[in-house]
Structure 1
Amino acid sequence: MCQFRPETAADHAAVEAVHRAAFPTDDEAALVAALRESDAFVPGLSIVAEADAGIVGHVLFTEVSVSGGGRTGRDAARPDAALTLAPVAVSPDRQGEGIGSRLIRHGLDACREAGYECAVLHGDPDFYSRFGFEPAAPYGFSHPFDLPDADFQVLWLTDEENDRIGGRVTYDAAFLDL
């Protein structure tokens, strides 16, 4: 059984090890380290899955800005109303147990509690649709990456439908350095 909690500084080495083991390159581990040092980092939204054996999973949500979408009202005054989910990793020996899905759900609940409007990501639509993510382009969102638009998705974290206007998503420089 796993417990989910915000990451602490004591977890950094274990989180790095999980990302290094879960991915074929060190890019995700380097991304997490760089984002921790950025203005986009929200300490309570870097979440670990902990089991008896230690840290077995991690998910990170960081702030992004959205501009040029004609936002008005609450969101025009709050550029940090949007987040991105990236990366998420589970130790290879614990994959297939639902830890990643539970981590994501726990993280999304924390994002809602923190008052964020939406989360965007690039990922497999078949996987992320189970959490409520849907294509971002119909809302007017765009991104700076050379990735398929079908993989660019959004999840609305509030019920305030009148503010659902996208725009150009700007990510922390750490994402552009990958």
Structure 2
Amino acid sequence: MAMAGCGGGNDRPLIDTTIDSYETADGDILKQGSTFTITMPGGGAGATLLAGVAPDLSGDEYRAFLDFPLTSGVRNGVIQSATLNVVVRNLSTSPAGSSLPLLVELVSYVPPLIAGDFDSAILAIPSRAQTVRTITPAQVNDPGGVDIDVTALLIEAQNQRLSHFQIRLLEDFVNSPLGIVTIDDSNATPPQLRVLYF
């Protein structure tokens, strides 16, 4: 959908596009001590991804990965904003009822996921490759999902001429409770990237 508009002397129309995640490249990695378990659910009915640290004090940690193929317009346009939207299906925390901050990082991986992707380096300095969004109990099963501003991350992906926008979601450990977020990754309600660009 295109919306006419002028901003900052730009005569081109503002384009509003939404990109579904590429479910066959989405997945999560569980780390249990020195053992890694990789799950790539494939987007079928009931498919979910997990991110966070188990609230049972086991130390088990999940990190989720999302892949968004970028259109040529997004890769070459002037990005005004980029918003990641995910539907949260469950939030399990200790203490119960707590909110959980998620760290969203710009990464690069070649599907299928491998154990090394769990803690691979981010693609730029943190101010351009990381953002934090707190997930609250009230957002569980909200059909509108949870919006996360990823503008800086997408601009950096564009600057690096990446054809896919790939991100990793994990718990932000600064002053946070332990908890796991369950994200819907089904074909019916996939994670989405909404981009406004000229």
Q: Which has the larger radius of gyration?
A: 2
Fold similarity call, TM over 0.5? no
Give the TM-score normalised by the residue count of structure 2.
0.28
TM-score, reference length from structure 1: 0.30
